[in-house]
Amino acid sequence: NLSTGVQNLGDDKNFEPLDAKDIQQIVELENQLRGTDAWNNKKFEDELKLNNRSWWVCKQDENIIAYAGAMQSDNKMELLKIGVSNKHQKQGIAKQIISYVANDMRDLGAQELILEVRKNNTVAQKFYQNIGSKQIATREKYYSDSEDAIIFGGPLPILSKDVGGMNLKKVNEIV
């Protein structure tokens, strides 16, 4: 829906821009997924006030099952957070939600993606590789428990369908 930004997949899941009323649900999911690295309500509230940010949520029956946010800096989209409830992982939700954020970041001038991921989070590393990112550096003792961060960089992800429902193909898929 172009007036609200809500993107309905037709399977009871909706993707929509983050609204302040959703922050408490995100914080609860964030605490489940991130533990000591979780952001609090104030951090998310502060993020919504910044013009170079994009935050999206995925809802199922009004319950948030995923969220993602990024900031635009120079020509880069820096992925700040992405989380999918344990029950809903491996269903393609992360790829879709990061693509909605990336679309907004393109509008702000971003041309490439950059992000940090825990060294021991091999599942997330594989996901980022699958969307075209590559390991470019390491930040030692980056996380609150002193675990290293692996920095990934790559192209901005795109949706396979745009808001008009047209089938899109990546440039390298066109024959």
Query: Which among 104, 103, 107, 113 is positioned nearest to 161, based on CA atoms?
Result: 103
Give the C-alpha separation, 90 to 7, whole Å. 20
User: Strands of 149-155's sheet, edge to edge?
Assistant: 7-8, 13-17, 53-60, 63-73, 76-84, 112-118, 149-155, 134-139
| Residues 84 and 93 sit within 8 Å (Cβ to Cβ) | yes
List CB contacts of 121: < 8 A, sequence separation 6 or more. Answer: none
Amino acid (one-letter) located at 102: A
> What's the whole-model pTM score?
0.83
Look at phi and psi of residue 109 and say left if phi exceeds 0, alpha if psi is from -120 to 50, else beta: left
Would the pLDDT of 4 be above 60? Answer: no
Give the C-alpha separation, 102 to 97, whole Å. 9
Q: Which residues pair with 83 in a beta bridge?
A: 67
Tens-place pLDDT, residues 6-41: 555 456 889 999 999 999 999 999 999 988 889 999
Amino acid (one-letter) located at 111: Q
pLDDT given for residue 36 in this prediction: 82
Would the pLDDT of 89 be above 70? Answer: yes
